[in-house]
Amino acid sequence: MAGGSSRALFFFTVFAVTLFGTKAEIKYTVEVGRFFSYELMRETFQSDFEPLSKLYAGRLYDDPMVFKCNKQNFPDLPEWLRFTQRHSYDNGFLYGTPTSPGKSIIEIYAVNKRSYETTRQILVVKAVPAKLLPYQAEFFIKLREIEKVLPSSVQDEIKQDLQNLWATDKLEIVNITNALDRGGRVPLPLAGHFEGVYVKVASEDYFSNCLQKVLTAEHQRACSSGSKVKVPSGCNFCSFASNCISWCSTELFDLTQQEPSLPPPTVGSGILDAGEVFQPPESPESRDYFPDYIVTVIVPLILALVLCLLLTYVMCGRREGVTKRNAHTNQIQLYHHHTIHGNTDELRNMANRRSDFPPPLSTQPMFNFRTGERAAPLRSDSPNVPLIMAQHDPYSDTLPR
């Protein structure tokens, strides 16, 4: 009975694990100053979404997925860690270089865009102290994109080419950065256009002869002129054309020659020593406000006075006057002007003399041209008043005899 019950418990445990899945933590240990990358495989999360259908029904789904990553109990990732996923049908990548020792717990959420199910995975990255490699070099690979470089197989290819260029096997990848994060331009969505990546490697061995040619004045002059720089002879070690580096963007760093940084300031405890008592000032120090008064009040008043004097001079002292204006005016134009004034005065005088005589009958309202009698005002309740007598009395004879 005991053996049968133990076997039943074992099968029940296997069935429960198969049905509900396990959420074990994935742990990684990385040295400070070394590059870390972790690929989020869609197949792994697909098995969490459809575990029974894969085992028994024989159905295999290829659902689009979107990954969301953040540090546990925080909205974002640690400052040294980055995430990228180009498309929902592509795998995601977490990558970066830790700068200080410590442990980071990363929560990875996968959202199935077909069924909108969600699953979670815990990734624990522990950064341990390590020796800083003194000689470092940064290369720009123009024909690559960050998603195509992060897989471990591609990193091994690039590392092998750079080992041949450095002439050493003791080479470590320090960092890989997207060119867009370094201020690069977004390429056109056409074939043959790539974003580019920066790959930084380090070693304990000094730079090879090929790398030292980057420091020569001739090479720097050729790069600054903008002309196409040829690969130095005997220094072309890229096994694939897409892994070839741009020599003008290559930089070398010798950390042994750098000046040591200043020590940080000593932070006190914030507590006064025994026996010392802080005496606050009884009153604030006196302050002279006269300079502020001059700048705030006197200076604007002086500027306003100067502007008033200038405006007075322009309006009053710069006027021509009638005599000076006539002296500069053409005589023909001046004679024509005076003629117009004289004729205007004469017409006004003639109009004033006509006021002594009665106005002609034609200017009076509604008169009989044969008798000269004026028509009496019309009295009518209608708002339409006839303007001609024939309209008022249709039987009157208005024709001349």
Q: Tens digit of pLDDT for each residue in 324-339? A: 777 878 888 888 888 9
Q: Tens digit of pLDDT for each residue in 292-327? A: 989 999 999 999 999 999 999 888 877 777 777 778
Alpha-carbon gap, residue 384 to 9, rounded angstroms: 116
pTM above 0.85, yes or no: no
Percent of the chain with pLDDT over 70: 78
Percentages of the chain per state (helix, strand, coil), in multiples of 5: 35, 20, 45
Dump the DSSP string for 248-281: EEEEEEETTSSPPPPPPPPP--S-PPTT------
Kindly report the average pLDDT of the chain as a whole number.
80
Write down the pLDDT at residue 72: 93
Write down the pLDDT at residue 14: 39
Q: Tens digit of pLDDT for each residue in 192-234? A: 889 999 999 999 999 998 898 888 888 888 888 877 777 877 7
Residue 375 scores a pLDDT above 90:
no
Contacts of 112 (CB under 8 A, 6+ apart): 45, 49, 63, 64, 65, 118, 119
Write down the pLDDT at residue 11: 41
Highest mean pLDDT among 30-39, 179-188, 267-276: 30-39
